[in-house]
Amino acid sequence: MSIPEYDGSNDKIPDGDPLDFLGHGSHVAGIIAGKSEFYTGVAPEAEILAFKVFGAFEGTDEATLIEATIMAYESGADIITASIGRANGFSDGPWATVASRIVEQGVIVTIAAGNDGEEGPFYASSGSSGKEVLAVASVDTSRVPAKPWHATFKLDGVTNTTQLAYIPPVNRDLWNVTGLSILPLAFDTTNPAEACSPLPDTTPDLSNVIVLIRRGTCTPYVKQANVERHGARYILFYNDDYRPYEIVANSAYKSQIALIDAKAGAAIIETVKAGGTVTADFTVPLESNWAVGFFNAAGGIPSYYTSWGGTYELEIKPDIAAPGANIYSTYLDGTYKVLSGTSMATPYVAGVAALYICKHGGRSVHGKDFAKNLSRRIISSGDSLPWQTLEPQGLPTDFGFIAPVAQVGSGLINATKLLEFKTSLSFEKFALNDTGSFNQHHRIEITNSGDETVIYNFTLEPAGGFLAQGRTSGRLGDILDVKPMSLVPTVIFPSGVFQVHPGETKQAEFNFEAPKTGDETKLPIYSGKILITGSNGEDVAVPYMGMACDLKTQMRSKMFPPNYPLQRSGLGGEGIDSYHTYAFNTSRAAQDFPKIYAQFKWGTKELRWDIFNVGYQETDWVYPPVEGENNYVGAVTSSTYAASSLNFDPASMDKEKVSSFPIRGIERTTTWSELTDRFWWLGKLANGSYIAPGNYTMRFAALVPLSNPEKSDSWDIWRTPMITILPYNP
């Protein structure tokens, strides 16, 4: 549903053309079901139903996403996957709600967790925050796409040709070289400084060989210059064991350079050292779309960009992780491309789910409970990942903790467990909540569909805890603030031998006690998994997550950072203490109306801007307020231009284009962006009328998390003076 000219604000014109303008959808589709002579997706026999929500503009709106999701459901899809979203973090948002209800009808829904990892915890995405939706995080892969070449090894009369991988510089042509021998500059693979200094004068002419050098410590261009002085035209660097793969940049030197992995380099050196030869052929194939795997020493860790959960009401998000970094897949016009993001991880999970449905059937076979059961099977398959928050410069640091649930859910999806295991679990996710609303008791139904009786053992695998409060007052921490710490709950497991006979389902109960911490103002988060290991060799797990403090208490009167909200009205941008009389003169020379700027430490489920008659007291608060009762006049509206403009311009802006308060589902302000929400009241109320001149009490308030909106103290209220509305022309 898009046209090439759609820019996110003009009208959309639905049509029947699903072809992609941007390449993003093509890449996602290829991950699921791509199939060619040199590429295979996760589920190559899956049938794709395409619902285009982007035009040439990289963006869309939630209404379009909801409509497309419903269309996919009505078209009979077994799986709906969407690699799109925005920061939100509320499970009852419009798209999240629709997606969850579709899961309850038997359709698997996978949605990307988001790519805002630098913003730190509690920055979950919109659709993926749905209660039954699978929010997918990204993991760095252990092999990345590279170009193929053939190495012919000859030793002791034996010849062997092997396909290997190489990475040329960015925007350089593939090597077109064949028949040249590879000459290691030295046989010592332990010397990282090889060729970092000028080579001796006795160095032979290197113009008719391919020189092999360890990547090592100094820059590759220093090494390139040193060997080029001796005639080198082609240089292969073999990577260090400890170094993640890298794309070598272009240089000003004439010689050509490329990177191969450490094992390939070692094999070449061993052969030549033993008296053999290795010759290279970079001409087969020269097909630009052909790719092979290149070992990445930093693989198998959470991607630094993957967004952290959970939701603002402490629900577990994300749910599962999958490979999402440096993914090779189909692109526009028959080409292929490498892209990274949770957008790439999400279709991987959808593809694995498609394999399961191909083998066992979908909702038409198993009914409405199918999607929820398969979602739990996917979650319980997750393999733990190591703690890692930043992109490593070398081998990932061993912090001694597994990655938290708020970052990767239950871990990396394991297709073998999903497709083959006889153990299946039915459970509600172990969202322990905070200490004020602690969810202590949890249950798992364990089904043994195998042919033998299985004894199951239960163990606790705690993940690294962390403090959500950051270094900046009034802000949660960003990724630089998140440091691992030991935060382990006490868990009472089922007693005795837990034995499940073939075809039997048995319930296991778990009782949690939150860990004690020293400073609850830091918002400590703990998480991990309950590991369930069977005597049949199968192991599955259920994630848990909680906050070791009372969130409502910690956020009361702290929803807004220091100095917010604030007003900048009139030409001088005056605050509300000195400027609280308005005539709603919107001219560029006056700007005489309330301009409110707000930031939020925590996401708020509801933001209200209400007007009351003078005399209103908080003891009069009733939710929802009713016009004409308890001194309530009405909710205000805000100009839709406020979000993107600094001033209202009557010549180009329509004052009737407004949105009404209350506003629901506002995400927190982050340290990196520090984006401020702006609201302009031009006099119009939410009921469509304009406010009458007079004196009023203004109430601008954010709902505290996990709170009852009917209680006045559940709101963080900005205290303002009485406001005066002068006579004006609406």
Q: Is 364 exposed, middle or buried (0-12, 13-18, 19+ CB in 10 A)?
A: exposed
Residue 106 pLDDT > 60, yes or no? yes
Q: With contact defined as beta carbons under 8 Å apart, do 348 and 324 qualify?
A: yes
pLDDT on residue 3 = 44
For residues 484 and 489, give the distance between their C-alpha atoms in angstroms, rounded to a whole number. 15
- Name the band, by pLDDT with cuts 50, 70 and 90, for residue 59: confident
Which pLDDT value is given to residue 2? 41
Query: Tell me, what's the pLDDT at 9?
Result: 63
Residues with Cβ within 8 Å of 715's Cβ and at least 6 positions away in sequence, in order, are: 608, 621, 701, 702, 703, 704, 707, 709
Q: What is the pLDDT of residues 485-535, one digit of tens each?
A: 999 999 999 999 999 999 999 999 999 999 998 899 999 999 999 999 999
- Output b/e per residue, 149-186; b: 16+ Cβ within 10 A: bbbbbbeeeeeeeeebbbbbbeeeebbeeeeeebbbbe
Q: What is the pTM of this model?
A: 0.94
HEC assignment per residue over 429-452? CEEEECCCCCCCEEEEEEEECCCC
Question: What does the pLDDT read at residue 1?
Answer: 39
Residue among 635, 517, 108, 528 nearest 346 (CA) = 108
For the segment 293-321, what is each residue's pLDDT rounded down to a tens digit? 999 988 899 999 999 999 999 999 999 99
Burial of 658 (0-12, 13-18, 19+ CB in 10 A): buried
- For strand 79-82 and strand 108-112, is the pairing parallel, antiparallel, or unpaired? parallel
pLDDT tens string 318-360: 999 999 999 999 999 989 999 999 999 999 999 999 999 999 9
The token pair at 591 is: 């700007």
Tokens 């008791």: give the residue.
441
Look up residue 490 and give its two tokens. 């006490």
Give per-residue pLDDT as tens, 420-463: 999 999 999 999 999 999 999 999 999 999 999 999 999 999 99
Comparing 18-22, 125-129, 575-579, the range with the smallest average pLDDT is 18-22
Tell me the percentage of the chain whose pLDDT exceeds 70: 98
Q: How far apart are CA 584 and CA 587, in angstroms?
A: 9
**pLDDT score recorded for residue 12:** 77
The region, left, alpha or beta by phi > 0 then psi within -120 to 50, assigned to residue 617 is beta
Handedness of CA 76, 81, 85, 88 (dihedral sign): positive
Average pLDDT of every residue of the chain: 94
CA-closest candidate to residue 372, choices 433, 319, 309, 441? 319
Q: Is residue 671 scored above 90 in pLDDT?
A: no
Determine which of 175-179, 362-366, 367-371, 392-396 has the lowest per-residue pLDDT on average.
392-396
CA distances from 50 to 63, 66, 69, 105, 185 (A): 17, 14, 11, 20, 53
Q: Token pair for residue 222?
A: 């220093």
The answer to whether the Cα torsion of 545, 547, 550, 553 is positive or negative is negative
* pLDDT tens per residue across span 132-153: 999 999 999 999 999 999 999 9
CB-based contacts of 158: which residues, under 8 Å, 6+ apart?
Answer: none
Measure the CA–CA gap between 42 and 349, rounded to whole angstroms: 9
Identify the residue with better confidence: 443 or 11.
443
**397 Cβ neighbours under 8 A, 6+ residues apart:** 388
Q: At which residue do the structure tokens 């949105």 appear? A: 659
CA distance 688 to 420: 60
* pLDDT value, residue 54: 84
- Give 614-629 pLDDT, tens digit per residue: 999 999 999 999 999 9
Q: What's the longest Cα–Cα distance across the chain?
A: 101
Rounded Cα–Cα distance for residues 81 and 352 (Å): 12
